[in-house]
Chain A
Amino acid sequence: MKRYVSGRLLQLIPVLFGVTFLTFALLSLAPGDPVQKKLSAQGIAVTKDVLLETRKEMGLDRPWTLRYASWLFDLLHGDLGDSYKDGTPVAGRLVKAMKYTGILAISAFLLALVISLPLGIYGGIKKAGFLDRMIQLFCLAGYAVPGFLLAVLLIYLFCIRLKVFPIIAKGTVQGLFLPTLTLALPLASRLTRQVRASVLNQMEMEYVDGAKARGVLKPYILIFHILRNAMISILTVFGLSIGTLLGGSVVIENIFMWPGMGKMVMDSITARDYPVVQGFVLVMAVIYVIINLIVDISYHLLDPRLEEI
């Protein structure tokens, strides 16, 4: 087990190298000039001399491969660099934004879980009943409606019509509700589908008939047989959905002005604030790999048929 985990963590090195290199290359090759953006944002008249001088000051006159190398060198010394825009350390900004994104992602995930588990299990057990059809309709709608549209609809309903929540969230508890709901609903529909399908699949297994034939009570069959075995496939989707949540929050955070990583990275891209984008990509890659690792390990804990790791 220890060897497996350390092996997987070692895989992080090539993954992170590849991801940061690609981002760096793409950002550098894309049109747009961070210096020009920075200067015009500060209201300084942009002349050629000023541009060249500032570029030299910021080290942007060197070729991007060299810049990547020095960024990597700094990273290995625990330094993520400073923001082009205001010179603050990237690490500090990331930590602050991560806190907000974390709150949003966790609350959305929990809400999705609370919605999808009971709905999925019920739909699986009472297949093709009236409620099951309603559940399927919900799933379909959740799939079909894009997040940004849902956000706008929710804003219209709760902020403009009912006037119960603020439009701009700004990191307050009250403002958390709408972005959470916007993120949770599509996710819940996806998870519900998966839970329902897994439960249905397990219900058809012969061992369930075997347990019924032995006269095992229904709650035991549901919890220890059907759910226990369905959990294995449900888990993957749950794990992967955390990744989607973090990615999906980029759009939602911008709509609701939630001060998380998504909003930060969008602002940074517009401002060509490369160090911040690099830091964001790095953190996301680490989170993805670790979540996948946790999912894989829990697989082995849930299904003894898989070989010892």
Chain B
Amino acid sequence: MSESVLSVKDLSVQYGSHKVLSNLSFEVNKGEIIGIVGESGCGKTTLLKALFPKRTTNLIISSGSILFEDQNLANADKKKAEELCGRGIGMIFQNPKASFNPIRTYKSQYIETLKSHGMYHKETFESLVLKTFERMNLTGGRELLESCPYEMSGGMNQRIAIALSILLKPRLLLLDEPTSALDVASGKLVMEELQRIRELTNTSIILVTHNMGLLSGVADKVGVINQGSLVEWGTVHKVFGSPEHSFTKTLLDAVPKLGIPERIEEENISDCILKLEEVSKEYKRKNSPFLALAKVGMEVKTGEILGVVGESGSGKSTLLNMIAGLCSPTDGSVIFKNRIMEKRRKRDDYCNVQMVFQHAAESFNPRHHIRKAMDKTLKNLCDLKSRAERNERINELMKRVDLSPDLADRYPWELSGGQCQRAAIARAISISPKLLLCDEITSALDVSVQKEIIDLLKKLVKETGMSVIFVSHDLLLVSSFCDTIMVLWNGECVEAAATRDIIKNPSQDYTKKLLKTARIDGSLYIGTD
């Protein structure tokens, strides 16, 4: 185990003249799984890109060396280095769709990859692949091989990509946030695959992620990167158990912990504001209709934060879209303050219910400044006729979500993910809605930013007394600040109760399973408490 595969010394990397990484040194031994964590923009993806032999042209290694099996990749001959791609060093990308051409079968892409490395033997190919699939618990071997990537879910794609890298047996495998686009269950499967790769081929693995819960389960060592430098390096136990650097501590603090929110639930929760009566939603499909929601009922009280948890495809987003009026229920009714909300929404309905989306930047018109986007909402729904008045209001709103008012004059793509999400929240609360719908608003952000957004939500609820429905796949996160939790599974409401009851004595098996997964994710922190 102690044989060194990769040795990085004083590595500095820059994009053009912009310095991204400075003086990184670490060593990776054979069969080790290394985790790299840090905030977005800290340079962790850049590190992977620098380690990979095929580099993008604008990435410059300004100093230091990357020794991969006695070959210095920092200044190696381009052609020779590229020969290492695949068999020497493999890479799995963040976007699970990125690995394969969506419209060609896995089989053809497996074959061409093996052929490129001179490893294709017609007679043994299929049995070899099927055996690998079997070892990875990928069911439906031959059919899977004949299908195209566009037909598969992200998680499946990621696992099939990993299966291919097992076939290639690289000595080093680089993974760039392989689970960030996947739900918890698929993410766990991918992590299990990684451990299996190590067992089967003794491959060393470098894993970049912001999910420290998942990481703590698989990694041997962890490196923490802050603003381009490696601030902490050591075993998982040491780094996560007794962090030395202050940045590591803040990062760990930001990870949501399983627990009951401090707020006393009964305090200011009074009358029922939103009620769903056995709503169902059916999508018409060619062969059989698809039931996205089946007779779901729920109640939201004034000032309540309701968390809706479920895996991808459980109907969470459909539920929110229905409340927001983006789609209409096939059956049942949505009642807001004792009045049924019609399919065609009135102006009042928009003023009462507002929604914030997962991808904040995409929810703004890319050609409008933030100010213009907010201005329109204020003009149309708030009857603020004078421009000066509206501008003043926008500045005030920006301050309320802890953003500098100057940022309102930027385009959405000029803001960071967290800033943009704040701006989206500011726009949503600009008309003082009674109910705010949040659709996975933090899943694209990293933990420290996530914590800030959650704190902001809590603050706003306290100030305005509005209700919030917060949809997420992360039970840990939801349990950390929601008053009540509703668990969705395959379009059905499995369980809905106060957070305390859900955490302490869940009544349904599915909830117990979710809690178990969440506990494993958070086990590290619970263990060190």
Residues in chain A within 8 A of chain B (CB atoms): 206-207, 209-217, 220, 224-225, 228-229, 302-305, 307
Contact = CB atoms under 8 A, between A and B. Distances in A.
B168 A229 contact: no
21 contacts: A206-B93, A206-B95, A206-B98, A207-B97, A212-B54, A213-B54, A213-B86, A214-B113, A214-B164, A214-B165, A215-B83, A215-B87, A220-B112, A224-B104, A224-B108, A224-B112, A225-B101, A228-B101, A304-B148, A305-B103, A305-B148
B116 A220 contact: yes
Given A213-B90, A215-B168, A229-B103, 8 more contacts: A211-B101, A213-B54, A214-B85, A217-B116, A224-B101, A224-B108, A228-B101, A303-B103
Nearest to A212: B54
Contacts of B90: 213-214
A305 B150 contact: yes
A214 B103 contact: no
Contacts of A209: 93, 98
B366 interface: no
Contact of B85 (A213, A228, A229): A213
A304 B152 CA distance: 13
Contacts of B97: 206-207
B101 to A, nearest CB: 5
Contacts of A229: 101, 103
Nearest to B85: A215
A216 B99 contact: no
Classify the interface of chain A: helix, strand, loop or mixed: helix
Contacts of B364: none
Contacts of A207: 97-102
Contacts of A211: 101, 109, 113
Contacts of A212: 54, 85
Contacts of B168: 214-215
Interface in B274-311: 286
A207 B99 CA distance: 5
B411 interface: no
Contacts of B99: 207, 210, 214
Contacts of A206: 93, 95, 97-98
A215 B113 contact: yes
B87 A210 contact: no
A171 to B, nearest CB: 44
A305 B147 CA distance: 11
Interface string B52-88: 1010000000000000000000000000001111110
A227 to B, nearest CB: 11
Nearest to B83: A215
B148 A215 contact: no
Nearest to A217: B116
Contact of B102 (A220, A302, A305): A305
Nearest to B56: A209
Nearest to A302: B103
B433 to A, nearest CB: 38
Contacts of B85: 212-215
A210 B286 contact: no
Contacts of A220: 112, 115-116
A127 B167 CA distance: 35
A302 B161 CA distance: 23
A304 to B, nearest CB: 6
A228 B101 CA distance: 10
Contacts of B108: 224
B435 interface: no
B98 A210 contact: yes
A148 B131 CA distance: 65
Nearest to A213: B91
A215 B101 contact: no
B176 to A, nearest CB: 10
Contacts of B462: none
Given A206-B97, A214-B113, A217-B116, A304 B103 contact: yes
B117 interface: yes
Contacts of B100: 207, 210
A216 B112 contact: yes
Contacts of A224: 101, 104, 108, 112
A307 B148 contact: no
Contacts of A216: 86, 112-113, 116
Most B CB within 10 A of own CB, among A210, A212, A216, A307:
A210
A114 to B, nearest CB: 27
A216 B98 CA distance: 15
Contacts of B113: 211, 214-216
Minimum-distance CB pairs A-B, first 5: A215-B86, A206-B98, A215-B85, A210-B99, A217-B116
Most B CB within 10 A of own CB, among A211, A225, A307:
A211
Interface string B318-335: 000000000000000000
A87 to B, nearest CB: 56
B286 A307 contact: yes
B271 to A, nearest CB: 48
A269 B447 CA distance: 75
A213 B165 CA distance: 11
Contacts of B52: 213
A303 B165 CA distance: 27
Contacts of B150: 304-305
B351 to A, nearest CB: 40
Contacts of B98: 206-207, 209-210
B100 to A, nearest CB: 6
Interface string B100-134: 11111000110011011100000000000000000
A1 to B, nearest CB: 15
Contacts of A215: 82-87, 113, 116-117, 168
Nearest to B117: A215
A303 B150 CA distance: 11
B160 to A, nearest CB: 12
B124 to A, nearest CB: 20
Contacts of A213: 52, 54, 85-86, 90-91, 93
Nearest to A208: B101
A254 B113 CA distance: 54
A280 B178 CA distance: 60
Nearest to B91: A213
A189 to B, nearest CB: 29
Contacts of B165: 214
A73 to B, nearest CB: 43
Contacts of A214: 85-86, 90, 99, 113, 116, 164-165, 168
B111 to A, nearest CB: 10
